[in-house]
Structure 1
Amino acid sequence: MVPEMEAAMNAHITDMYCYYKNVYQRMDVKKCLAGSTFNSGFIEFYCQVFEFVETFTRICPDLEALISEETRATIFLMPRSRVFAKGWPEWNSHRGSEYMHANRLTCPNQLQFIMMQGPLAADIESRKRSTIEKAWWMMKEERTEFIVMLCKTVETVERDGQTVQLEKCAQYFPEEQGQILQFDRLKVTCAEKTTPNREVIVRKLSAEFEGLSAFNVTHFQHIEWPDHSVPREYDGNIFILKQIRKSLEAIVVHCSAGVGRTGTFVYAEVAYQTLANNGCMDPAAVLRQVRDSRAMAIEKEIQLAYGNMLVYHYADVGMLTVENARHFESMKNGMIKFREVEHILNARNKEKDESREYLKREGMARKKNVKKNVKKNEKKHKKKSKDATVDATQDDASELRTAGGSEDESEMEFDPEFVEENKHLPDSWPWQQHDDVPKKVKKRSCCVIM
Structure 2
Amino acid sequence: MKAIKIGILGLGTVGSGVVKLLQDNAHKITNITGCELKVKTAVVRNVNAHRNVDLTGIELTNDFTKLLNDDEIEIVVEVMGTVDTAREYIKRLLQAKKHVVTANKDLIALHGPELSELAKENKCDLFYEASVAGGIPILRTIVNSFAADQVESVLGIVNGTTNFILTQMTQNGLSYAAALKLAQEKGFAEADPTNDVTGKDAAYKMIILTQFAFGKDITLDEVKLAGIDGIQLEDIKEAAQLGYTLKLLGIAKLINGKLAVSVGPVLVNNSRPLAAIQNENNAVLVTGKAVGETMFYGPGAGELPTANSVLSDIIAVTKDIVLQTTGSRFNDYSQKIEFAKANDIVYPYYLSLLTPDKAGQMLKLTEIMTQANASFKVIKQTGAANGDARISIVTHAMSEAQLNEITEKINNLAEMQLLAAYKVLEEEK
Q: Max radius of gyration: which structure? A: 1
Larger strand share, 1 or 2:
2
Q: Same fold (TM over 0.5)?
A: no
Q: Using structure 2 for the length normalisation, give the TM-score.
A: 0.23
Q: Using structure 1 for the length normalisation, give the TM-score.
A: 0.22
Kindly indicate whether structure 1 or structure 2 has the higher relative contact order, using CA contacts under 8 Å at least 6 residues apart: 2
